């Protein structure tokens, strides 16, 4: 349901009050209820999916009907054989979540739910956060953002200008997971709409996907997680950097400028020699830490890298200042990893 209030021509003096006018008044009141009860002016309209005032199975201020433009952006859709409607049986949060069902079969799919318009500004930035879970990991699930000019006409230019894929995965979480993504509007963008796509038609995998808790947050995002694996004590007497080992990390923050911080333990065989260490995250080198201590002490390495992918491999490198010395390094299993974007 979108904003479609009565116009001046609908309420001329002496004109009869008909069913069409009353329906517009009713629909406008329902819309306003959805806005005031479900959102703040700086948030995603009804991003918790809790309000469905007209009980049509679609959350207020969202649509799955592409013919609803220009009230909405015109991207909403229920794909062949599938469904895109509220689920009150197994919601992620609250009393209901949006659920898309892909029945399986070539050309079939779930659906795409599109939000109402939200003001934006060229160069201005927000983070979008949402929760998602799938019954089948191999479904093609996506979160999209579409951009429009001051007249709410879709920007041209194709992917990257007209729309941006904030999230796309065919290796989905089958438990409730929160994600974050930065939105940076392109030139001439004045409005945006969000698209939640579950079970896209290009991937023949049957299953269900749920979305909920869709919110804008200020352009700062944090995530703390644990690394997968670690490595035991590694040593070298090399005076040039050699690999000490690697770990895997999994960021839920989709950004090209995420600062990844990981503690690492290093020491030296002698106070006369210096051990140096750095890490590489997705091709980006971190700061270098050094020590002459003969006892292990944790220091933090940080690198600002692209975390728009799924899993990231982080490799650590060490050296010593003298071939007579030995450099030591280790990273504990399940070591804490901090992701931060500002």
pLDDT on residue 33 = 61
Contacts of 207 (CB under 8 A, 6+ apart): 101, 102, 134, 135, 136, 138, 139, 199
pLDDT on residue 230 = 86
Q: Is residue 15 part of a domain?
A: no
Q: Residue 69 above 80 pLDDT?
A: no
Query: Which one of 40-44, 118-122, 216-220 scores highest in mean pLDDT?
Result: 118-122
Average pLDDT estimate for 274-278: 97
Query: 187 and 283: one domain?
Result: no
Of the residues 219, 237, 254, which one is the last residue of a structural domain? Answer: 219
Of the residues 199, 219, 239, which one is the last residue of a structural domain? Answer: 219
pLDDT on residue 294 = 96
Q: Residue 38 above 50 pLDDT?
A: no
Confidence class for position 23, pLDDT limits 50, 70, 90: confident
- Where in the sequence is the domain holding 108, given as residue range(s)? 42-219
As for how many domains the chain has, the answer is 2
Question: How is residue 46 written in tokens?
Answer: 């009804």
Query: 214 and 259: one domain?
Result: no
User: With left for phi above 0 and alpha for psi between -120 and 50, is residue 229 left, alpha or beta?
Assistant: left
pLDDT on residue 221 = 61
Average pLDDT estimate for 258-264: 90
Query: 167 and 292: one domain?
Result: no
Query: Which has more confidence, 238 or 16?
Result: 238
Query: Which one of 3-12, 77-86, 333-342 scores highest in mean pLDDT?
Result: 77-86
Give counts: helices (H), strands (E), the chain: 1, 24
Placement of tokens 């989905």 in the chain: 172
Q: How far apart are CA 239 and CA 275, in angstroms?
A: 9
Query: 214 and 243: one domain?
Result: no
Q: Is residue 23 part of a domain?
A: no
Placement of tokens 């709409």 in the chain: 193
Of the residues 185, 219, 253, which one is the last residue of a structural domain? Answer: 219
Burial 165-201 (b: 16+ CB within 10 A, else e): bbbebbebbeeeeebbbbbbbeeebbbbbbbbbbbbb
Query: 315 and 301: one domain?
Result: yes
Query: Which has more confidence, 3 or 215?
Result: 215
Query: Which has more confidence, 278 or 339?
Result: 278
Average pLDDT, the chain: 87
């Amino acid at each position: 349901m979108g904003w479609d209030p009565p116009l001046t021509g609908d309420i001329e003096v002496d004109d009869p009050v008909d069913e069409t006018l009353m329906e517009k008044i009713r629909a406008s009141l329902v819309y306003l209820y959805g806005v005031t009860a479900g959102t703040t002016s700086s948030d995603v309209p009804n991003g918790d999916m809790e309000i469905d005032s007209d009980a049509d199975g679609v959350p207020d201020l969202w649509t799955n009907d592409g013919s609803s433009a220009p009230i909405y952006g015109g991207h909403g859709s229920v794909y062949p054989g599938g469904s895109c409607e509220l689920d009150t049986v197994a919601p992620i949060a609250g009393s209901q979540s949006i659920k898309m069902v892909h029945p399986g079969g070539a050309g079939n799919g779930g659906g795409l739910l599109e939000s109402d318009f939200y003001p934006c500004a060229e160069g201005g930035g927000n983070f979008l956060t949402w929760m998602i879970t799938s019954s089948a990991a191999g479904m093609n699930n996506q979160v999209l953002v579409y951009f429009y000019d001051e007249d709410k006409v879709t920007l041209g230019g194709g992917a990257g200008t007209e729309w941006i894929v904030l999230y796309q995965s065919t290796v989905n979480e089958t438990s409730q997971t929160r994600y974050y993504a930065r939105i940076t509007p392109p030139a001439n963008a004045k409005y945006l709409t969000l698209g939640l796509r579950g079970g896209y038609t290009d991937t023949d995998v049957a299953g269900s996907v749920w979305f909920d808790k869709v919110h804008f947050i200020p352009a700062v995002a944090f995530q703390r997680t644990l690394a997968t694996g670690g490595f035991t004590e590694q040593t070298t007497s090399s005076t040039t950097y050699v690999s000490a080992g690697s770990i895997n990390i999994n960021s839920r923050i989709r950004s090209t400028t995420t600062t990844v911080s990981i503690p690492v333990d290093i020491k030296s065989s002698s106070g006369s020699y210096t051990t140096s260490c750095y890490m590489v995250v997705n091709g980006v080198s971190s700061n270098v830490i050094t020590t002459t201590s003969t006892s292990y002490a944790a220091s933090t390495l940080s690198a600002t890298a692209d975390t728009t992918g799924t899993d990231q491999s982080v490799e650590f490198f060490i050296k010593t200042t003298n071939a007579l010395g030995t450099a030591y390094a280790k990273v504990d299993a399940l070591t804490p990893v901090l992701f931060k974007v500002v």
